[in-house]
A and B are shown apart, each in its own frame.
Chain A
Amino acid sequence: MSKIKVDRLTKVFGKRPKQAVKYLDENKSKDEILEMTGMTVGVNQASFEVEDGEVFVIMGLSGSGKSTLVRMLNRLIEPTSGDIWLGDENVTEMNKEQLRNLRRKKMSMVFQNFALLPHKTIQKNTEYGLEIQGIDKETRAQKAQEALELVGLGNYLDKYPNELSGGMQQRVGLARALANDPEILLMDEAFSALDPLIRKDMQDELLDLQQSMSKTIIFITHDLDEALRIGDRIALMKDGSIVQVGTAEEILMDPANDYVERFVEDVDLSKVLTASHIMKRAESIAVDRGPKVALKLMREYGISTLYVVDKKKKLLGYVTADDAAAAAKEQKGLEEILTSDIPTVHPDTLLADVFVPLSDDKAPLSVVDDEGRLVGIIVRGSVIGALAGDNEALNGDGGVGANG
């Protein structure tokens, strides 16, 4: 079941927003409404669902309504119409008290410019959410300490925000959010103010933390690379509307419209797609079979290289047709003729890291899992096809076709 269900959520800035909502129902565009009524449509009937434990990225350029959208989820901005379902609770219908409890216990927010209180120490900042809940000093000091250790700042309790670098300040921002132990993290351009190297570190760290915590994260960004890196799924926004929701691969390989296509055209696919996306089924033979069987199989499949595995499917190497033919004459076993010192990659290896091993050998590159079992091969053609944006080069579900 989904954690959050957002249904036709709309925000109109202006004097008579209900009027504009009516026009939106009549499928009038944002520009038309601005012209007719002078009101600005911030978010236009956004609907999406976020699964429990998912990193859901909302991406768009500035002015696309993404910040407005995320602020409506905890009602820092009041929605004009639409619903936000959290389980069976409707956030849009909560009274002040319920809303406060939601913000205190279930949803924490991390801000673009950190929003740390300059007059409070790191510890006091981290405690803020607990303090306003009236939790006693010892408990909140302990929780703050734990949260700060989680982000690697356990030794900075008594410092002030201005004594820390940007990256460290945002760790405090993250610790403050985690100290509340919320179910949902709202991250509004959380890493956008950091310089690129620090940003990448923070992304990695967030993903690491996410592995152990499994929060539901809604992450706002204008940076496509960031979205592709950390998002399980991505919602792309334009002019207040969501134009496409999908995994990174779906958005890159199957853009919903011209806008998305133009948006993603400069993406370095080699840094998004992994070996598992493009690998093909590997034809293999058990090592205890003879070279004649190998030759027969190669003829059958019309290939010149056959992979040799042991009983547990562990990759040992490959034999070529020439070698096998020679071996058959000399009565040798497969074991003696196989080429064993071959490069391999993991299914999660990025395409960018596949080029070098692929060029090292004439034979297709073999993909092996953590146990060394052969799960597929990569041929040059599919790498080029995938980089060229050819959908057919991909395994449709982005999964490991040859594995399952």
Chain B
Amino acid sequence: MEPMDETQLFPKLPLAEWVEWFEEFLKTYLSGFFDGVTNIIEFVTENFVLLLTLVPPFVLIILVALLAWWIVNWKIGAFALIGLGLINNLGYWPELIDTVALVIISVLISMLIGIPIGIWMSQKNSVQAVITPILDFMQTMPAFVYLIPAVVFFSLGMVPGVVATIIFSMPPTVRLTNLGIRQVDQELIEASNAYGSTTGQRLTKVQIPLAMPTIMAGINQTIMLSLSMVVIASMVGAPGLGTIVYRAVTQVQVGLGFEGGLSLVILAMLLDRISQGANKK
């Protein structure tokens, strides 16, 4: 036992040891699981990056600009054209592709896991009571902390970056899916029940369609949070724009930092406007 200093009322609990013991336990008995997850995420991200790299940059820029024009308006379309053109001009195209891959894969996995959990929460108060504190924990724990287990279980590179990003950015999707479904007018739920709907029919025909705007707002939040994880993820070797910013910080290069930061802002604005526009449609 460690010696006590005079501010301690009781001998220190070995909390850190417990957590490490638990980590060791997971590594020993669930290594197959972690390897599987690593392989899947690696496979998906690598192929996604490959796909985006195959398309010539100017084609991709025009496609994104057209998409933004179609979904939002011509102003955002023009912004996409200029913004992505600038990133390309600065020479960060490969990093941009990596970051987009990281964000999109993280968000898709967050939706895949988060929306069903949100739906489950909305159906049972007991589930909500258990999940809500977990979500609070996920969101308030400093994001850096996730890097440690991410590295331990998933080694270095894109995969621990994706995992840490998912943990940090998933809660809004879960929360707002739950909230959106719970906010559906009670009388509509009653009507749906009164006409003899099964639980599945009530969900698919009434609750989820009506909760859709709220769910989409949650996904938008998840996108924004995962962008904010880009720099942190670069610390465990996730490639992308974050790496540039991280390098600029460690080497105190103001110009490089500005370039990397500006590129991230452009990407963030584009993703935000396009996802919000999709929500309105």
Contact = CB atoms under 8 A, between A and B. Distances in A.
Interface of A: 71, 74, 76, 99-104, 107-109, 111-113, 115, 117-119, 128-129, 131-133, 176, 180, 186
Nearest to B185: A115
B196 A104 contact: yes
Given A104-B195, A132-B196, A119 B209 contact: yes
B196 A115 contact: no
B195 A108 contact: yes
Contact of A132 (B185, B205, B209, B210): B205
Nearest to B210: A119
B281 to A, nearest CB: 14
A118 B206 CA distance: 9
Contact of A129 (B195, B206, B209, B210): B195
A101 B196 CA distance: 7
Given A118-B210, A119-B210, A129 B187 contact: no
A108 B194 contact: yes
Interface of B: 185, 187-188, 190-198, 201, 205-206, 209-210
Contacts of A128: 191-192, 195, 205
B206 A115 contact: no
Nearest to B209: A119
A77 to B, nearest CB: 10
5 contacts: A104-B195, A115-B188, A115-B190, A119-B209, A186-B194
A132 B206 contact: no
Contact of A103 (B185, B196, B206): B196
Contacts of B195: 103-104, 108-109, 128-129, 132, 176, 180
A105 to B, nearest CB: 8
Contacts of A103: 193-196
B146 to A, nearest CB: 38
A102 B196 CA distance: 8
Most chain B Cβ neighbours within 10 Å, of A74, A103, A117 = A117
A115 B185 CA distance: 8
A115 B187 contact: yes
Contact of B190 (A99, A108, A111, A133): A111
Given A104-B195, A128-B195, A76 B201 contact: no
Given A76-B193, A99-B196, 18 more contacts: A74-B194, A76-B194, A100-B198, A102-B196, A103-B194, A108-B195, A109-B195, A113-B185, A113-B187, A115-B188, A115-B190, A117-B191, A117-B205, A119-B209, A128-B192, A129-B195, A133-B196, A186-B194
Contacts, number: 59
Nearest to A114: B187
B218 to A, nearest CB: 19
Contacts of A118: 210
Nearest to B202: A132
Contacts of B206: 117
Contacts of A131: 205
B196 A100 contact: yes
A111 B196 contact: no
Contacts of A176: 195
A108 B196 CA distance: 9
B270 to A, nearest CB: 29
Contacts of A108: 194-195
Contacts of A102: 196
A107 B187 CA distance: 17
A109 B196 contact: no
A104 B194 CA distance: 8
A115 B201 contact: no
Nearest to B194: A109
A101 B198 CA distance: 11
B210 A109 contact: no
A103 B202 CA distance: 14
A257 B49 CA distance: 81
Contacts of A186: 194
6 nearest CB pairs, A to B: A104-B196, A103-B196, A115-B191, A109-B194, A129-B195, A115-B187
A98 to B, nearest CB: 11
Of B185, B190, B196, which is in contact with the most chain A CB atoms at under 10 Å from its CB? Answer: B196
Contacts of B185: 113, 115
A113 B185 CA distance: 10
Given A118-B210, A119-B210, A132-B205, A109 B191 contact: yes
Given A100-B196, A100-B198, A101-B196, A111 B191 contact: yes
A115 B201 CA distance: 16
A247 to B, nearest CB: 29
Nearest to A177: B195
Nearest to A128: B195
Nearest to A103: B196
Nearest to B188: A115
